[in-house]
């Protein structure tokens, strides 16, 4: 899951080298933390949060299929 999110986010931003995606396991939930350069933050979030909402939907759907719970966070 981490690799998929990293690939999608790198395609969205201008500074692909600054993209950092981490998985943190906590209490049965896998938290995926995405860090990007400050100028690219708006591209990841999108207008009215549409892009990040779509990424979260993708993560949720993959989690349902794998019987796991994923949470996606964009970290500054």
- Whole-number pLDDT of residue 47: 96
What CA–CA distance (Å, rounded) separates 64 from 16? 29
Q: Is 90 exceeded by the pLDDT of residue 42? A: yes
pLDDT band for position 72 (50/70/90)?
very high
pLDDT category at 76 given cuts 50, 70, 90 is confident
Domain map of the chain by residue range? Answer: 2-75
Helices 2-12 and 50-66, packing angle to 10 deg: 160
Q: Out of 1.10.8.60, 3.30.300.20, 3.40.50.300, 3.40.50.880, which CATH number does the structure's domain 2-75 have?
A: 3.30.300.20
pLDDT score of 28: 87
Report pLDDT for 58: 94
- For residue 71, what pLDDT is reported? 95
């Amino acid at each position: 899951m981490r690799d998929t999110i990293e690939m999608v986010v790198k395609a969205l931003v201008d500074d692909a080298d600054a993209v950092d995606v981490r998985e943190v396991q906590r209490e049965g939930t896998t938290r995926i933390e995405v860090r990007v350069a400050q100028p690219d933050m708006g591209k990841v979030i999108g207008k009215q949060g549409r892009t990040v909402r779509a990424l979260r939907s993708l993560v949720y759907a993959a989690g349902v299929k794998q019987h796991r719970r994923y949470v996606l966070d964009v970290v500054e």
